[in-house]
Structure 1
């Protein structure tokens, strides 16, 4: 009887875990976004001034409510590391692509990189959230300018959920809104990309 009750209790209290890739060019603010996100959810986080360029990956598991856990994979954005991104595609439930809004010179590279991501068959149907980061800077591009990059590859996105949102990973502005958008899309996409139950 004890095992039956324990089994029912464990089944009732299972949490859905979704894996989200954080991608983007180097110096876009991916790790700063992740550390700010940890801070928003009252978890231990690295001081933002101590963040170094990511070589490999940073992983954080964040319980967002009593039923959902989000596991974030912040993967290095240097050109030499981007070929490794596809190793994560089959396991991800969502992609957050971060763009440095203050780096006009790399906008075409950003567009080409994002296009190569969305064209991979492994992520067909996966929601993609493009974040126009560094909106706190005076030299930033407006979100509308960033959206034009996204519009160039819209034909490759097909029917999946996608959006461009402004954020400042440094100040935290827009970070929680971005995650709330993603959570709704993960729920909506649950049948085609079921979560892992923990």
Structure 2
């Protein structure tokens, strides 16, 4: 854990300098193993066909690419009418996430819906994000990942309504300064990812 945090601290200055003054910055956060890296890879896959069609754009995505836990950060540019830079931060970097809040126009926060035991920790993380002054004007999209059972996805043991109730999401939304949206997705299957792209497009059309 300490070694991973040192890697994150070592690249902090460099990544701040590469934040991209002309682009909208979107932070992608969540606990380790929730599917953040796979989400970004899938968004890149469906983006070309999504941009050319009003349909879902999912199609046959093929087998999911191999991913490994992110140590440090990953920067990925996508173009949905304008350039949007998605900055994924490793879950192990939670203690220094706040170092990256500046210049953030939007926030994707991912929850592993197949792991109810992780919900409490995710709720604490989300509370910290929503209370951060630097993120007060950021639009927030909460992604409930792995919601759809298949041979590749782990089964969900709770309904989406039960999850939202457990983390008291309606109360969080009512009290938060940010505009908060939720969506159910499967990064592995591609379900719901067109909604994520549409949200990014609409959000960054008015922000940044």
The equivalent of 1:128 in structure 2 is: 140
Computing the radius of gyration from Cα coordinates, the structure with the larger value is 1
Q: RMSD of aligned C-alpha atoms?
A: 1.9
CA shift for structure 1 position 142:
2.4
Do the aligned partners of 1:129 and 1:182 also contact (CA within 8 Å) in 2?
no
- Structure 1: runs of 5 or more not aligned: 1-15
Do the aligned partners of 2:80 and 2:197 also contact (CA within 8 Å) in 1?
no
State how 1:169-188 maps to structure 2 within 5 Å. 169-188=187-206
Moved over 3 A (4+): none
- CA deviations on 1:2-60 (whole Å, 9 max, x unpaired) are xxxxxxxxxxxxxx6211011011111111101100111249xxx73420011011111
- CA deviations on 1:45-85 (whole Å, 9 max, x unpaired) are xx7342001101111101112xx01100111012xx11221
Do the aligned partners of 1:30 and 1:98 also contact (CA within 8 Å) in 2?
yes
CA shift for structure 1 position 153:
2.4
Q: What secondary structure does 1:184 align onto?
A: helix
- Structure 2: runs of 5 or more not aligned: 1-21, 50-62
Q: Which is worse superposed, 178-187 or 18-27?
A: 178-187
CA distance in 1, matches of 2:204, 2:84: 10
Per the normalisation by structure 1, the TM-score is 0.77
CA distance in 2, matches of 1:38, 1:145: 31
CA distance in 1, matches of 2:103, 2:78: 17
Q: 1:49 to 1:63 in 2, by over 3 A?
A: closer
State how 1:49-198 maps to structure 2 within 5 Å. 49-65=65-81, 68-78=82-92, 81-137=93-149, 139-140=155-156, 141-148=158-165, 149=167, 150-158=169-177, 160-188=178-206, 190=207, 195=208
